[in-house]
Amino acid sequence: MVKKERHLVLVHGACHGAWCWYKVTTQLKSMGYKVTAIDMAASGIHPKQVHEIRSMSDYFEPLMEFMASLPPEERVILVGHSKGGFCVSAAMERFPEKVAVAVFAAAFMPDPELTFQTLSQTGNERLDSDKYMDTQFGFHNGMHEPATSVLFGPNFMASKLYQLSLPQDLTLALTLVRHVGVYKDERSIQATAVTKEEYGLVPRVYIVCNKDNIIKEDFQRWMIENNPPDEVKLITDSDHMVMFSKPNELCSCLQEITEKYI
């Protein structure tokens, strides 16, 4: 019964998939936890292609389907990384009674005032001057229209996401990353909106990664200051990909969180 209740649901960030949690999933399962890592639409091994995903609501539909399938009595620990914070937040808003606690690991963390649009724009503005580097852009609506997708480039990933991770983890990632959609439509804004009445019911824990080169520590702290979670944890010397650079520390954090909130 304890194992059933301690069910962690892991949600990846942009261009990645459930595969990026392989170290953490293995370790958590060995510790007795039930773990589910989910591919968002057109990510990982999900069969859809990025041009078929028209909004954030399409993107995180696999998570919503999973949450809806949970037994009424089951409450899970949601863990969102990076862009996965928006997915986790939407699940908290729709299924607050099924979430024991939500964990944001170097992730976007919205609230009713800090919207999808605001956080995306603020995060983009805080990037370095060489922010895109060799990132590729997709133009599925034609070259005369704004970009509809992005794919992180090898140099970008090496310097901004994986600079403290093992080289073999970067090598793995380079073979598995996929284009992710760029969404600025009204449907996406509405789908990611959260309220104090629903989202606000769920305890939140933020895990700060202080050597993150893309969602930098000052931006993480800014979100925390403007939208205080119930608890803040710090994993030192972690790059953006905390599940690769500091998997043991991340598992220890998740263990502490589950023991406190379950």
Return the pLDDT at 242.
98
Q: Is 149 within a domain?
A: no
Asked if residue 2 has pLDDT above 60, the reply is no
Q: Is 131 within a domain?
A: no
Tokens of 237: 């010397």
Evaluate whether 95 touches 65 at the Cβ level (below 8 Å): no
- Which of 3-17, 177-191, 234-248 shows the lowest per-residue confidence on average (mean pLDDT)? 3-17
The CATH number of residue 244's host domain is 3.40.50.1820
Q: What is the pLDDT of residues 210-245, one digit of tens each?
A: 999 999 999 999 999 999 999 999 999 999 999 999
CA–CA gap between residue 10 and residue 248 (Å, rounded): 16
Tokens of 116: 């999808």
Return the pLDDT at 3.
42
Q: Is 214 within a domain?
A: yes
Q: Is 175 within a domain?
A: no
Q: Is 21 within a domain?
A: yes
| Domain residue limits at 100 | 7-126+185-261
Catalytic residues: 82, 212, 240
DSSP-derived letter for residue 34 is E
Backbone angles phi, psi at 161, to 5 degrees: -115, -40
Domain tally, the chain: 1
Q: What is the pLDDT of residues 17-51, one digit of tens each?
A: 999 999 999 999 999 999 999 999 999 999 999 99
Residues 105-117, mean pLDDT to the nearest whole number: 95
Evaluate whether 14 touches 179 at the Cβ level (below 8 Å): no
Q: Is 201 within a domain?
A: yes
Asked if residue 1 has pLDDT above 60, the reply is no
Q: What is the pLDDT of residues 51-91, one digit of tens each?
A: 999 999 999 999 999 999 999 999 999 999 999 999 999 99
Q: How many residues does the chain have?
A: 262
Q: How far is CA 18 from the centre of its chain?
A: 11
Evaluate whether 50 touches 180 at the Cβ level (below 8 Å): yes
Q: What is the pLDDT of residues 113-166, one digit of tens each?
A: 999 999 999 988 888 878 789 999 999 989 899 999 999 999 999 999 999 999
Return the pLDDT at 132.
87
Q: Is 133 within a domain?
A: no
